Structure 1
Amino acid sequence: MSLRTQLTDILPPLLPSNPSEAIKGTELIRLARLQLNGAYSDASLRYHFSIMSCDPASPIAKVEKGQGYYRRTAPVPALTGAQELLALSHGRLDEFGSDHEAVDLALERLRKFRAVVTRYYEVNGRFPFTFRQAFSQGAPLGNLWKFPEVVLVDWETGDAPDEELALDAGMLALKQRLGLAPFRLHAARLRIQPSLDSFREDFFQALSASNWSQGGELLYAAPIEDEALADGLRRLNATFGVGVMSFGLTAQALDDLPRPANILNAHPKETQALMDRLDINRIAAPHSRQHIDWQALDGLRRESPEVSHLINWLTSCIDKGRAEPHREEA
């Protein structure tokens, strides 16, 4: 029996399931050697640990930050996307069978995360616009590759607290004369659980859905703790430029949050308490482009009325000289 085959059988009971309790390589070698058939060097065992930790099918994963290994769990039969269309069209709801309560729970987590993302960026001076109709049940499957869940708008506003929503009049006039947009648009896709099995699909959907904007983001609710997963996302970012960030919210943490409407309408102290729960981890920064592809955006406008709503909202802010938040029900 090969060393890898033996390790596949031996390692699962030896590895902790919680990455925060990761076992050091030296200790793992000692424990594994007690059950191995054959004399293998420490270097050979470490090599196999490293190679196997990059394989989504293997039971061992290496922590992203720090040292040590933990047990990689099988993909959870939960929705990794952020909208109803992804769940329904990809058939992932089938994994729940007739368990309607599990379906409702999964969709509620998606809505909560969307609300958390909205509040997080509002608190940090950005203006989110959420797409919903493009992902409703019955919408074309191709919308997964065309529309972001959230568009993040960055305006040039005043520095003083009483001017934080006022647009910079001088810069606004200059950009209008130069034919430049007085804002920056970044398109974000939302996912609940990062996985070595699905991160490429997640990434390239984010890339495709942001090709008209000035940059793309892939936002995960759960922490990215697998080193192989983080490295894979960084390599894709280096080539294609989509930023990647996690909010540190496990499924249990999402379940403990209030309802989406309460998150969106929370008082300042409640919002601060919510922000304190987040463990933001920037895996890779987005590569921002200079210009918006207006022709591509106009093409999307013909496919979804929500693009017209986005444009009307941006136009209204310019006309009023104020960067007003976009509000809708959760």
Structure 2
Amino acid sequence: MMNYSFLDLAKEVLERKNVPLSAEEMWEFAGQQGLWERLNSSGKTPVRTLSARIYVDIKNNENSCFTQVSKRPAKFYLKNKIAGLDQYEEKQEKAGDRHKFKERDLHILLSSFVRTDEHFKCLTKTIYHEVSKRGRSGKNKWLHPDIVGVHFPFESYTENTLKLFDMLKVNPYKLYSFEMKISVNLANLRECYFQSVSNSSWAHEGYLVALNISEEPEMMDELRRLNNAFGIGVIRLDAEHFMQSEILFSAKEKESLDWDTINRLVDDNRDFQHFLNDLMEDIKVGKVKSIYDEIYEDEEVAQIKCKEKGILP
């Protein structure tokens, strides 16, 4: 009889449970099912061994039956069951077991990241959809971004340089659009991505942002294809260390803005109108005087707040 390996154990556990699991959850369930005894192993850290074996198999074996569906916490699933993952997630969300926090609880993490990141160095403003005018059903669907941002050049250039920009009609300011999600996987990728495409046409750069982004190869390939075709960037948030959040795919910068959409947003949503009024006032006086979204200055404070909200365990 062939030896029963850690990979055999992982596959059997995932088949029995039929839901994504972390290495710790797999090991615990394997113990409950009496599978430990079938392993020919005496290692002191079996959970680490199990996790490492799965990671290596996914990386080096193109025919691996496993796929990683989330990063923090790292959870794995069987490729042949990935099509049913959206149904599992919907059931979990309806039951209230999946996320005890809301998308807007993640806004301050994004605002803190883009304030310090060298690519952005921008200030943000949350756009509340609730204050928008009520139009005909579907008329304004996917019109509003969740968060808007502006990069001011005041910290980067001297006053004389800014005056020269103005004389040469060079625009040193940049507008950003961010669509926030808790999780993005193959099941909801296209809807999330095209929502970002729809509500970012007015900005220089648009981004889809999520806390959990599936890392399976098919998912990354599709994201790369969509990015090449439509130019929306992708950011993965890191709740534990917000400064280590990643730009997985950079947005393609647009040279001209969609003024018709800007006009619609100003007419439809007072938050967006206030955002434009604030940035125009700040540009006029040459410094930031308006109030933008709150940010975290310290990662330890951010971690405490994220644990309070249930974003971190």
1:6-155 to structure 2, matched below 5 A, reads 12-13=15-16, 17-18=21-22, 21=51, 23-24=53-54, 49=63, 60-61=66-67, 70-71=77-78, 74-75=85-86, 96=94, 102=96, 106=99, 108-124=101-117, 125-132=121-128, 134-135=129-130, 142-155=139-152
Residue 242 of structure 1 corresponds to: 232
1:164-243 to structure 2, matched below 5 A, reads 168-179=158-169, 181-243=171-233
Give unmatched runs, 5+ long, in structure 2: 1-10, 24-47, 296-313
Could you say if the C-alpha distance between residues 168 and 193 of structure 1 is closer, same or farther in structure 2, counting changes exceeding 3 Å?
A: same
What does the per-residue CA deviation read over 1:216-249, in whole Å, with 9 as the maximum and x for residues that have no partner?
A: 1011112433222222111100111100111134
Residues 204-213 or 106-115, more deviating: 106-115
- Does structure 1 retain, via aligned residues, the 8 Å contact 2:147–2:179? yes
After TM superposition, the score normalised by the length of structure 2 is 0.63
SS in 2 for 1:309: helix
After TM superposition, the score normalised by the length of structure 1 is 0.60
What is the alpha-carbon distance in structure 2 between the residues aligned to residue 156 and residue 278 of structure 1? Answer: 21
RMSD: 4.1
What is the alpha-carbon distance in structure 2 between the residues aligned to residue 278 and residue 329 of structure 1? Answer: 15
Select 2:259's aligned residue among 289, 294, 297.
Answer: 294
SS in 1 for 2:67: strand
What is the alpha-carbon distance in structure 2 between the residues aligned to residue 197 and residue 318 of structure 1? Answer: 42
What is the alpha-carbon distance in structure 1 between the residues aligned to residue 152 and residue 140 of structure 2? Answer: 27
Select 2:273's aligned residue among 283, 298, 308.
Answer: 308
What is the alpha-carbon distance in structure 2 between the residues aligned to residue 62 and residue 328 of structure 1? Answer: 34
Q: How many residues align?
A: 244
What does the per-residue CA deviation read over 1:59-81, in whole Å, with 9 as the maximum and x for residues that have no partner?
A: x425899xxx7445833776xxx
What is the alpha-carbon distance in structure 2 between the residues aligned to residue 198 and residue 324 of structure 1? Answer: 39
Residue 249 of structure 2 corresponds to: 284
Could you say if the C-alpha distance between residues 25 and 154 of structure 1 is closer, same or farther in structure 2, counting changes exceeding 3 Å?
A: closer
Residues 215-224 or 9-18, more deviating: 9-18
What does the per-residue CA deviation read over 1:181-224, in whole Å, with 9 as the maximum and x for residues that have no partner?
A: 44101211011011110011111110111011111101111243
The alignment-based identity, stated in percent, is: 21
Which amino acid counterpart does residue 292 of structure 1 have in structure 2? L
- Does structure 1 retain, via aligned residues, the 8 Å contact 2:233–2:250? yes
